[in-house]
A and B are shown apart, each in its own frame.
Chain A
Amino acid sequence: EAQVTQNPRYLITVTGKKLTVTCSQNMNHEYMSWYRQDPGLGLRQIYYSMNVEVTDKGDVPEGYKVSRKEKRNFPLILESPSPNQTSLYFCASSSLVQDSEQFFGPGTRLTVL
């Protein structure tokens, strides 16, 4: 089954404790991205990647890092989480064929105390 998986689905942590949210897709997609969803703000793009070793900032990249060492994986790293990063995070992937559909993961709900 074609899918985007994220782990963990739920995470409660404390300020300053480094964490990684994993994202993996099995569709051989080149394009992957991370969004955060906040009430009243919709989804905003954090980082994206056009292919292995090619990443770039989205609209709200501050406080986040990403890496793309393999085509299927695109982890989101919070080196020193802060309470304003409490949010619902979604990973998405698509091919680079124009107008291809983006597939979204199930989401990771992160709470930073």
Chain B
Amino acid sequence: AQSVTQLDSQVPVFEEAPVELRCNYSSSVSVYLFWYVQYPNQGLQLLLKYLSGSTLVKGINGFEAEFNKSQTSFHLRKPSVHISDTAEYFCAVSDITGGGNKLTFGTGTQLKVEL
């Protein structure tokens, strides 16, 4: 079984400042890693994913994440945020051996970008 921990439930940040949203996971098997974004009153949209290969993954809207196997982390970063990045962000994992379909989510981090 897998589990995902998002240490920060809320992250306030000023516009144009950098941001890091933290994600740690636990699993006894190899996993795929994902970040999803949920804008107010909308469904989830995939930001980026790590499957294999380069540990630095670039996604949409200028976000990137780095997979660190030794620290079992997959932190999300953006060098300069915009008001439109205000949303809830979810980290998720899936078991490679299970085909990668079932997602286990973290509890989410609410990113609030202020002027």
Contacts and interface: CB of A to CB of B under 8 A. Distances in A.
A31 B106 contact: no
B106 A42 contact: yes
Contacts of A35: 105
Interface in B69-106: 90, 92, 96, 99-106
Contact of B105 (A43, A96, A100): A43
Among B4, B51, B100, residue most surrounded by chain A Cβ atoms (within 10 Å): B100
Contact residues on A (Cβ < 8 Å of other chain), bracket: 20 to 34
Contacts of B102: 33, 45, 48, 58
Interface of B: 4, 6, 9, 32, 36, 41-46, 49, 51, 90, 92, 96, 99-108
Contacts of B42: 106-107
Chain A to chain B: the 3 pairs with minimum beta-carbon distance, closest first: A104-B43, A42-B105, A42-B107
A15 interface: no
A99 B32 contact: yes
A48 B44 contact: no
Given A96-B99, A100-B100, A107 B43 contact: yes
Contacts of A50: 101
A99 B90 CA distance: 18
Interface in A64-109: 90, 92, 94, 96, 98-102, 104-107
Nearest to A58: B102
B49 to A, nearest CB: 8
B53 to A, nearest CB: 12
B112 to A, nearest CB: 16
Contacts of A58: 102
Contacts of A94: 101
